[in-house]
Amino acid sequence: MNKLPMWIEDKGLTFKCTGCGACCTGAEGFVWLEESDIQRLMDYLKVDRETFLATYCRKVGKKISLIEDPKTYDCVFLKDRKCGLYNARPKQCRVYPFWDEVIKTKASWDEEVAYCEGINYNGGKTFSKEEIQEIRRQV
């Protein structure tokens, strides 16, 4: 994974997932799944691969993404504004908000607050650059 931008290096970033569900709705997008995600989700849901892929996924080129509601763009697993499989969620979800496009600049980090109330959350955890790098290595 790329080296963290210089603006983060000394102070880290403050974040706390509030469970608001805002990152799982509101805009069309993709939650890309790796094989390990697929297996973990199949195990969690206690379904076979064929059922999992047919019920919860779409193929985009050579990649697999979770489906979403075509009207609201809610993730297929978002129920009552909460993740229905939080402890088994895909790696892409686990790494948010430490995505390249979010942490690229201080301005992009601060702008993401419009979508995620947990960024710069008063009382949230301040993640050191080492912790952020370890989280990002998961992808």
Q: How much is the pTM?
A: 0.86
Cα 120 from Cα 116, distance rounded (Å): 9
| Residue 135, pLDDT score | 92
How much is the average pLDDT of 3-30?
A: 88
Cα 18 from Cα 41, distance rounded (Å): 22
Cα 13 from Cα 62, distance rounded (Å): 34
> How remote is the C-alpha of 120 from its chain's centroid?
17
Question: What stretches of 2-127 show up as alpha helix (H) in DSSP?
Answer: 35-45, 49-56, 91-95, 100-103, 106-111
Other CB atoms closer than 10 Å to residue 23's CB: what's the count? 20
Structure confidence by residue, pLDDT tens digits, 34-91: 999 999 999 999 999 999 999 999 999 999 999 999 999 999 999 988 899 999 999 9
Local confidence band at 2 (pLDDT 50, 70, 90 cut-offs): low
Domain ranges of the chain: 13-137
